[in-house]
Structure 1
Amino acid sequence: MRLYSKTETWLANLPYIIMVCTGAAVLVLGGKNQTWAWAAAGVYVLYGIAGALWTMIFICPYCAYYGTRGCPCGYGMLATKLVEKAQHECFAEKFRKHIPVIVPLWFIPALAGGWMLWRQFDATLAILLGIFVVDAFVILPFFSRRHGCSECPQKESCPWMGKS
């Protein structure tokens, strides 16, 4: 198992952080900087944080990386402060059950931004939405699969890698 440095862990989280930040910016800009748009963006950021915590609490305890620096995103180490380790044989089942909780993070800004652009085109919003889409649907999955999944001891049974 490869051990990740703090810098590598931070870099592994960067695409998710960018996704949440650009998603919030899409909501603010698409909502023309109105109060409700800022509120929606704030809720979206909180949802992004809650999604990471949800993963740590309900998926990480079942992962072989739990409590080790072998977890590229560092969630495995953080999870030890929140929950006890569980049997890793249940990982695929828990992953499949709990990952849908965070999936809307990928679609809320994309759908809202697309709808807002359809109603009234704005070049800045289009560029920001493009950055969000490329990060959320290309960069983040690419680095997740290449950086963490390729070395994962549970990749054969992981729904994300598509082998189970």
Structure 2
Amino acid sequence: METPTPTDTAAVEEQLGRTPRGLRAVAHRCPCGNPDVVETSPRLPDGTPFPTTYYLTCPRAASAIGTLEAGGVMKDMTARLAEDPELAAAYRAAHEDYLARRDAIGVLPGFPSAGGMPDRVKCLHVLVAHSLAAGPGVNPLGDEALAMLPEWWRKGPCVPVSQDGSGKSGEGDDAT
């Protein structure tokens, strides 16, 4: 994890189209150099619980994941959890990893992990973000979804950010 620089914060703001809430760290960087996953606080500044510790910020990656979700990947993965005890055990371990990482930042008693873990697949965005932040082998279904994605970074950064961290460079990006 890296402390976000002003340039990172500006990039995330451009990616999301709003000021990021509860931003703690850059959890993963896209091959283009921009943050693509951030770590958020378990509680937002106003005290609201926010159980999504790893938040995918890259709009190109998010769009590609949305295509997978629309194609029924989540339903198929959830069905496989019911049929494959080894996969279910690995996914439960991913759930425990997610909770342990979140609890290391701040405990949210009674709140589930995220993405439907440990019993179903509810959000591939969260699972991919967890895989990118934690590294390969931690979240099997996040790793699977990540392997299905195109190389979203190939066209270069999803948002242009100036070196002064303003988030504005005067250039456009037709892909976001």
- Give TM-score scaled by structure 1 length: 0.28
Q: Which has the larger radius of gyration?
A: 1
- Give TM-score scaled by structure 2 length: 0.27
Q: Relative contact order: is structure 1 or structure 2 higher (C-alpha 8 Å, sep ≥ 6)? A: 1
Give the structure with the higher percent helix: 1
Give the structure with the higher percent strand: 2
